[in-house]
Structure 1
Amino acid sequence: MCHPAVLAAVSIAGSLAGGVVQAQGIRQQADAEAKAEERRAELADRQKGVNQTQASFERRRTLEQFTRAGGYNRAAGAERGLSETGSLTDVADDNAYEAAQNIEAIRYRAEGQRDNLTFEARTARERAQSRRKAGQIGAAGAILGGATSAFTTLGKTVYSLSSG
Protein backbone atom coordinates (compact mmCIF):
# COMPACT_ATOMS: atom_id res chain seq x y z
CA MET A 1 0.00 0.00 0.00
CA CYS A 2 1.27 3.46 -0.90
CA HIS A 3 2.11 5.97 1.77
CA PRO A 4 -0.57 8.69 2.15
CA ALA A 5 1.98 11.39 1.31
CA VAL A 6 2.72 9.71 -2.05
CA LEU A 7 -0.98 9.45 -2.80
CA ALA A 8 -1.40 13.10 -1.84
CA ALA A 9 1.49 14.13 -4.07
CA VAL A 10 0.00 12.24 -7.01
CA SER A 11 -3.41 13.80 -6.33
CA ILE A 12 -1.91 17.28 -6.04
CA ALA A 13 0.03 16.86 -9.28
CA GLY A 14 -3.10 15.57 -10.99
CA SER A 15 -5.16 18.51 -9.76
CA LEU A 16 -2.57 21.02 -10.95
CA ALA A 17 -2.11 19.29 -14.31
CA GLY A 18 -5.87 19.00 -14.76
CA GLY A 19 -6.29 22.72 -14.13
CA VAL A 20 -3.58 23.58 -16.65
CA VAL A 21 -5.01 21.24 -19.31
CA GLN A 22 -8.51 22.58 -18.73
CA ALA A 23 -7.20 26.15 -18.97
CA GLN A 24 -5.46 25.36 -22.25
CA GLY A 25 -8.67 23.86 -23.65
CA ILE A 26 -10.69 26.91 -22.60
CA ARG A 27 -8.16 29.24 -24.22
CA GLN A 28 -8.10 27.22 -27.45
CA GLN A 29 -11.90 27.15 -27.66
CA ALA A 30 -12.14 30.89 -27.01
CA ASP A 31 -9.45 31.55 -29.63
CA ALA A 32 -11.27 29.39 -32.19
CA GLU A 33 -14.54 31.25 -31.52
CA ALA A 34 -12.73 34.60 -31.75
CA LYS A 35 -11.15 33.60 -35.08
CA ALA A 36 -14.59 32.64 -36.41
CA GLU A 37 -15.89 36.09 -35.45
CA GLU A 38 -12.90 37.73 -37.11
CA ARG A 39 -13.66 35.76 -40.29
CA ARG A 40 -17.24 37.05 -40.12
CA ALA A 41 -15.87 40.58 -39.86
CA GLU A 42 -13.56 40.01 -42.85
CA LEU A 43 -16.48 38.63 -44.85
CA ALA A 44 -18.57 41.71 -44.05
CA ASP A 45 -15.67 43.95 -45.09
CA ARG A 46 -15.29 42.07 -48.38
CA GLN A 47 -19.03 42.20 -48.99
CA LYS A 48 -18.90 46.00 -48.65
CA GLY A 49 -16.45 46.13 -51.55
CA VAL A 50 -18.57 43.78 -53.64
CA ASN A 51 -21.68 45.86 -52.94
CA GLN A 52 -19.92 49.10 -53.87
CA THR A 53 -18.71 47.60 -57.14
CA GLN A 54 -22.18 46.30 -57.90
CA ALA A 55 -23.78 49.67 -57.09
CA SER A 56 -21.30 51.47 -59.35
CA PHE A 57 -22.12 49.06 -62.15
CA GLU A 58 -25.88 49.53 -61.63
CA ARG A 59 -25.53 53.33 -61.64
CA ARG A 60 -23.44 53.24 -64.81
CA ARG A 61 -25.89 50.83 -66.48
CA THR A 62 -28.85 53.04 -65.54
CA LEU A 63 -27.11 56.08 -66.99
CA GLU A 64 -26.26 54.18 -70.19
CA GLN A 65 -29.89 53.03 -70.53
CA PHE A 66 -31.03 56.62 -70.09
CA THR A 67 -28.56 57.82 -72.71
CA ARG A 68 -29.67 55.11 -75.18
CA ALA A 69 -33.36 55.86 -74.53
CA GLY A 70 -32.73 59.58 -75.07
CA GLY A 71 -30.95 58.88 -78.35
CA TYR A 72 -33.72 56.56 -79.47
CA ASN A 73 -36.38 59.15 -78.60
CA ARG A 74 -34.53 61.93 -80.44
CA ALA A 75 -34.06 59.71 -83.48
CA ALA A 76 -37.70 58.60 -83.43
CA GLY A 77 -38.83 62.22 -83.04
CA ALA A 78 -36.58 63.42 -85.85
CA GLU A 79 -37.87 60.61 -88.06
CA ARG A 80 -41.38 61.85 -87.49
CA GLY A 81 -40.38 65.43 -88.12
CA LEU A 82 -40.65 66.55 -84.48
CA SER A 83 -38.36 69.27 -83.19
CA GLU A 84 -36.51 68.87 -79.93
CA THR A 85 -39.01 71.08 -78.14
CA GLY A 86 -42.42 70.57 -76.60
CA SER A 87 -43.51 67.03 -75.87
CA LEU A 88 -40.19 65.50 -76.97
CA THR A 89 -38.39 67.71 -74.44
CA ASP A 90 -40.94 66.78 -71.79
CA VAL A 91 -40.32 63.07 -72.43
CA ALA A 92 -36.55 63.61 -72.27
CA ASP A 93 -36.92 65.55 -69.01
CA ASP A 94 -39.12 62.82 -67.53
CA ASN A 95 -36.58 60.19 -68.57
CA ALA A 96 -33.73 62.22 -67.06
CA TYR A 97 -35.67 62.64 -63.83
CA GLU A 98 -36.46 58.92 -63.66
CA ALA A 99 -32.83 57.98 -64.36
CA ALA A 100 -31.63 60.38 -61.64
CA GLN A 101 -34.12 58.86 -59.18
CA ASN A 102 -32.96 55.36 -60.02
CA ILE A 103 -29.31 56.33 -59.58
CA GLU A 104 -30.06 57.95 -56.21
CA ALA A 105 -32.01 54.86 -55.10
CA ILE A 106 -29.02 52.69 -56.01
CA ARG A 107 -26.69 55.00 -54.09
CA TYR A 108 -28.89 55.08 -50.98
CA ARG A 109 -29.31 51.31 -51.02
CA ALA A 110 -25.55 50.82 -51.35
CA GLU A 111 -24.89 53.26 -48.50
CA GLY A 112 -27.39 51.45 -46.29
CA GLN A 113 -25.83 48.08 -47.06
CA ARG A 114 -22.36 49.51 -46.43
CA ASP A 115 -23.43 50.91 -43.06
CA ASN A 116 -25.04 47.61 -42.07
CA LEU A 117 -21.95 45.64 -43.05
CA THR A 118 -19.69 48.09 -41.22
CA PHE A 119 -21.81 47.60 -38.10
CA GLU A 120 -21.78 43.83 -38.58
CA ALA A 121 -17.98 43.77 -38.95
CA ARG A 122 -17.46 45.99 -35.89
CA THR A 123 -19.85 43.84 -33.83
CA ALA A 124 -18.08 40.63 -34.90
CA ARG A 125 -14.72 42.10 -33.89
CA GLU A 126 -16.17 43.09 -30.50
CA ARG A 127 -17.49 39.54 -30.04
CA ALA A 128 -14.05 38.18 -30.93
CA GLN A 129 -12.45 40.38 -28.32
CA SER A 130 -15.06 39.36 -25.72
CA ARG A 131 -14.55 35.67 -26.49
CA ARG A 132 -10.80 35.98 -26.04
CA LYS A 133 -11.29 37.80 -22.73
CA ALA A 134 -13.78 35.15 -21.58
CA GLY A 135 -11.22 32.49 -22.51
CA GLN A 136 -8.57 34.19 -20.40
CA ILE A 137 -10.94 34.45 -17.44
CA GLY A 138 -12.08 30.84 -17.87
CA ALA A 139 -8.49 29.65 -18.09
CA ALA A 140 -7.54 31.55 -14.96
CA GLY A 141 -10.54 30.01 -13.20
CA ALA A 142 -9.52 26.52 -14.27
CA ILE A 143 -5.97 27.03 -13.00
CA LEU A 144 -7.29 28.48 -9.76
CA GLY A 145 -9.66 25.52 -9.41
CA GLY A 146 -6.79 23.07 -9.93
CA ALA A 147 -4.63 24.91 -7.41
CA THR A 148 -7.47 25.03 -4.88
CA SER A 149 -8.06 21.32 -5.28
CA ALA A 150 -4.32 20.66 -4.85
CA PHE A 151 -4.15 22.76 -1.68
CA THR A 152 -7.26 21.07 -0.31
CA THR A 153 -5.69 17.67 -0.90
CA LEU A 154 -2.43 18.87 0.68
CA GLY A 155 -4.28 20.24 3.70
CA LYS A 156 -6.25 17.04 4.20
CA THR A 157 -3.08 14.97 3.90
CA VAL A 158 -1.14 17.11 6.36
CA TYR A 159 -4.08 16.98 8.79
CA SER A 160 -4.48 13.21 8.53
CA LEU A 161 -0.71 12.62 8.90
CA SER A 162 -0.47 14.91 11.91
CA SER A 163 -3.54 13.47 13.63
CA GLY A 164 -2.79 9.85 12.84
Structure 2
Amino acid sequence: MCHPAVFAAVSAVGSLAGGVVQAQGMRQQADAQAKSEERRAQLADRQKEINQTQASFERRRTLEGLDKVLGNNRAAGAERGLSETGSLSDVADDNAYEAAHQIEAIRYRAEGQRDNLTFEAASARERARSSRRAGRIGAAGAILGGVTSAFTTLGNAYYKMADPAGSPSGSTR
Protein backbone atom coordinates (compact mmCIF):
# COMPACT_ATOMS: atom_id res chain seq x y z
CA MET A 1 0.00 0.00 0.00
CA CYS A 2 1.18 3.52 -0.81
CA HIS A 3 2.38 5.84 1.83
CA PRO A 4 -0.10 8.69 2.66
CA ALA A 5 2.52 11.24 1.65
CA VAL A 6 2.45 9.85 -1.91
CA PHE A 7 -1.33 10.28 -2.02
CA ALA A 8 -0.96 13.81 -0.69
CA ALA A 9 1.73 14.64 -3.27
CA VAL A 10 -0.35 13.21 -6.12
CA SER A 11 -3.39 15.13 -4.89
CA ALA A 12 -1.38 18.34 -4.61
CA VAL A 13 0.03 17.92 -8.12
CA GLY A 14 -3.49 17.21 -9.38
CA SER A 15 -4.78 20.37 -7.71
CA LEU A 16 -2.02 22.42 -9.29
CA ALA A 17 -2.57 20.86 -12.70
CA GLY A 18 -6.31 21.36 -12.41
CA GLY A 19 -5.80 25.04 -11.58
CA VAL A 20 -3.48 25.50 -14.54
CA VAL A 21 -5.88 23.74 -16.94
CA GLN A 22 -8.82 25.74 -15.61
CA ALA A 23 -6.81 28.95 -15.99
CA GLN A 24 -5.90 28.07 -19.57
CA GLY A 25 -9.54 27.36 -20.36
CA MET A 26 -10.61 30.70 -18.90
CA ARG A 27 -7.99 32.55 -20.92
CA GLN A 28 -8.99 30.77 -24.14
CA GLN A 29 -12.68 31.48 -23.53
CA ALA A 30 -11.96 35.14 -22.81
CA ASP A 31 -9.76 35.40 -25.89
CA ALA A 32 -12.47 33.85 -28.08
CA GLN A 33 -15.02 36.32 -26.68
CA ALA A 34 -12.60 39.20 -27.27
CA LYS A 35 -12.01 38.12 -30.88
CA SER A 36 -15.76 37.94 -31.41
CA GLU A 37 -16.15 41.50 -30.13
CA GLU A 38 -13.27 42.68 -32.32
CA ARG A 39 -14.99 41.15 -35.35
CA ARG A 40 -18.19 42.95 -34.34
CA ALA A 41 -16.22 46.22 -34.22
CA GLN A 42 -14.74 45.54 -37.65
CA LEU A 43 -18.20 44.85 -39.01
CA ALA A 44 -19.47 48.16 -37.61
CA ASP A 45 -16.50 49.96 -39.21
CA ARG A 46 -17.24 48.31 -42.57
CA GLN A 47 -20.92 49.18 -42.26
CA LYS A 48 -19.97 52.84 -41.68
CA GLU A 49 -18.06 52.85 -44.97
CA ILE A 50 -20.95 51.21 -46.79
CA ASN A 51 -23.43 53.72 -45.34
CA GLN A 52 -21.21 56.66 -46.35
CA THR A 53 -20.94 55.31 -49.90
CA GLN A 54 -24.69 54.78 -50.03
CA ALA A 55 -25.35 58.31 -48.73
CA SER A 56 -23.00 59.77 -51.36
CA PHE A 57 -24.83 57.81 -54.03
CA GLU A 58 -28.22 59.06 -52.77
CA ARG A 59 -27.01 62.67 -52.72
CA ARG A 60 -25.63 62.35 -56.25
CA ARG A 61 -28.89 60.74 -57.42
CA THR A 62 -30.91 63.55 -55.85
CA LEU A 63 -28.78 66.18 -57.63
CA GLU A 64 -29.10 64.31 -60.92
CA GLY A 65 -32.86 64.17 -60.41
CA LEU A 66 -32.89 67.91 -59.78
CA ASP A 67 -30.91 68.55 -62.95
CA LYS A 68 -33.34 66.39 -64.87
CA VAL A 69 -36.40 68.20 -63.47
CA LEU A 70 -34.83 71.60 -64.16
CA GLY A 71 -33.99 70.53 -67.69
CA ASN A 72 -37.53 69.29 -68.28
CA ASN A 73 -38.95 72.51 -66.86
CA ARG A 74 -36.72 74.64 -69.11
CA ALA A 75 -37.67 72.54 -72.13
CA ALA A 76 -41.37 72.74 -71.31
CA GLY A 77 -41.11 76.49 -70.72
CA ALA A 78 -39.20 77.05 -73.96
CA GLU A 79 -41.78 74.98 -75.83
CA ARG A 80 -44.49 77.30 -74.56
CA GLY A 81 -42.44 80.40 -75.21
CA LEU A 82 -41.82 81.21 -71.54
CA SER A 83 -38.66 82.97 -70.44
CA GLU A 84 -36.53 81.61 -67.61
CA THR A 85 -37.82 84.28 -65.29
CA GLY A 86 -41.01 84.63 -63.29
CA SER A 87 -42.99 81.48 -62.57
CA LEU A 88 -40.53 79.18 -64.36
CA SER A 89 -37.74 80.57 -62.18
CA ASP A 90 -39.92 80.14 -59.07
CA VAL A 91 -40.55 76.49 -59.95
CA ALA A 92 -36.81 75.93 -60.45
CA ASP A 93 -36.07 77.58 -57.11
CA ASP A 94 -38.68 75.42 -55.38
CA ASN A 95 -37.20 72.29 -56.93
CA ALA A 96 -33.69 73.30 -55.86
CA TYR A 97 -34.96 74.07 -52.36
CA GLU A 98 -36.65 70.66 -52.11
CA ALA A 99 -33.52 68.89 -53.42
CA ALA A 100 -31.38 70.73 -50.85
CA HIS A 101 -33.70 69.51 -48.09
CA GLN A 102 -33.50 65.94 -49.38
CA ILE A 103 -29.70 66.13 -49.48
CA GLU A 104 -29.63 67.54 -45.95
CA ALA A 105 -31.89 64.70 -44.75
CA ILE A 106 -29.59 62.15 -46.41
CA ARG A 107 -26.54 63.75 -44.76
CA TYR A 108 -28.23 63.90 -41.37
CA ARG A 109 -29.32 60.24 -41.56
CA ALA A 110 -25.84 59.15 -42.69
CA GLU A 111 -24.18 61.06 -39.85
CA GLY A 112 -26.56 59.51 -37.33
CA GLN A 113 -25.84 56.02 -38.62
CA ARG A 114 -22.10 56.73 -38.66
CA ASP A 115 -22.19 57.97 -35.06
CA ASN A 116 -24.19 54.92 -33.95
CA LEU A 117 -21.79 52.55 -35.68
CA THR A 118 -18.77 54.38 -34.27
CA PHE A 119 -20.25 53.98 -30.80
CA GLU A 120 -21.04 50.31 -31.47
CA ALA A 121 -17.49 49.64 -32.67
CA ALA A 122 -15.96 51.41 -29.66
CA SER A 123 -18.27 49.48 -27.30
CA ALA A 124 -17.32 46.17 -28.92
CA ARG A 125 -13.63 46.99 -28.58
CA GLU A 126 -14.13 47.88 -24.91
CA ARG A 127 -15.97 44.58 -24.35
CA ALA A 128 -13.04 42.80 -26.01
CA ARG A 129 -10.56 44.49 -23.63
CA SER A 130 -12.83 43.72 -20.69
CA SER A 131 -13.13 40.09 -21.70
CA ARG A 132 -9.36 39.74 -21.89
CA ARG A 133 -8.93 41.38 -18.47
CA ALA A 134 -11.58 39.08 -17.00
CA GLY A 135 -9.81 36.09 -18.53
CA ARG A 136 -6.49 37.08 -16.95
CA ILE A 137 -8.13 37.67 -13.57
CA GLY A 138 -10.06 34.38 -13.78
CA ALA A 139 -6.90 32.52 -14.80
CA ALA A 140 -4.97 33.99 -11.89
CA GLY A 141 -7.81 33.02 -9.55
CA ALA A 142 -7.88 29.45 -10.89
CA ILE A 143 -4.12 29.08 -10.44
CA LEU A 144 -4.31 30.57 -6.96
CA GLY A 145 -7.14 28.15 -6.13
CA GLY A 146 -5.03 25.23 -7.38
CA VAL A 147 -2.03 26.34 -5.34
CA THR A 148 -4.18 26.85 -2.23
CA SER A 149 -5.77 23.43 -2.67
CA ALA A 150 -2.35 21.84 -3.13
CA PHE A 151 -0.98 23.47 0.02
CA THR A 152 -4.09 22.48 1.96
CA THR A 153 -3.70 18.89 0.84
CA LEU A 154 -0.01 18.85 1.74
CA GLY A 155 -0.69 20.60 5.05
CA ASN A 156 -3.36 18.07 5.99
CA ALA A 157 -1.05 15.19 5.06
CA TYR A 158 1.77 16.68 7.10
CA TYR A 159 -0.56 17.22 10.05
CA LYS A 160 -1.75 13.60 9.91
CA MET A 161 1.82 12.29 9.64
CA ALA A 162 3.01 14.51 12.49
CA ASP A 163 0.15 13.46 14.75
CA PRO A 164 -0.81 9.89 13.77
CA ALA A 165 -2.98 9.49 16.89
CA GLY A 166 -5.21 12.29 15.70
CA SER A 167 -4.92 14.30 18.93
CA PRO A 168 -5.30 18.01 18.73
CA SER A 169 -2.07 19.93 18.44
CA GLY A 170 -0.49 20.95 21.71
CA SER A 171 -2.47 18.53 23.93
CA THR A 172 -0.87 15.80 25.96
CA ARG A 173 -2.34 12.60 27.25
TM-score (norm 1): 0.99
Matches within 5 A, 1:151-162: 151-162=151-162
CA distance in 2, matches of 1:158, 1:87: 105
Matches within 5 A, 1:9-24: 9-24=9-24
Aligned length: 164
Q: Which residue of 2 aligns with 1:143?
A: 143
Deviations 1:6-36 (A, max 9, x none): 0001000000000000000000000000000
CA distance in 2, matches of 1:77, 1:96: 17
Deviation at 1:83, TM superposition (A): 1.1
CA distance in 2, matches of 1:106, 1:142: 53
Q: What are structure 1's unaligned runs of at least 5 residues?
A: none
Matches within 5 A, 1:33-48: 33-48=33-48
Q: Which residue of 1 aligns with 2:4?
A: 4
Deviation at 1:69, TM superposition (A): 0.5
Give the alignment's Cα RMSD to 1 decimal.
0.5
Q: Which residue of 1 aligns with 2:102?
A: 102
CA distance in 2, matches of 1:117, 1:50: 11
Deviation at 1:82, TM superposition (A): 1.1
Q: What are structure 2's unaligned runs of at least 5 residues?
A: 165-173
Greater per-residue helix proportion: 1
After TM superposition, where is structure 1 displaced by more than 4 Å over at least 4 residues in a row?
A: none
CA distance in 2, matches of 1:145, 1:125: 30
CA distance in 2, matches of 1:79, 1:22: 84
Sequence identity (%): 79
